[in-house]
Structure 1
Amino acid sequence: MTWAPDGRATWEYGDEQRSGTPHVIWRRVGTHAIFSPGPP
């Protein structure tokens, strides 16, 4: 996800916490550098 020239975030869907509502887990939020070295 990108929201600014150097604003980045990675996320994933998790198991529903409330029925019918998507559950998003925010993994990394920051500048482009959040992608290095990457998830394990």
Structure 2
Amino acid sequence: MFNLLAIYLFFLSKHWLKVLHLHTDITSQYIGLPVAKQTT
């Protein structure tokens, strides 16, 4: 039972890291796009 919970938490943390990484990618794109437009 405890092992199952540990595996579940592991996958959950991996999922949230992926979501967080995706969120920072999107944020950097939104910040980066206007900057790129200004320089070009």
What TM-score does the superposition give when structure 2 sets the normalisation length? 0.20
Larger Rg: 2
The structure richer in strand per residue is 1
Question: Is the helix fraction higher in 1 or 2?
Answer: 2
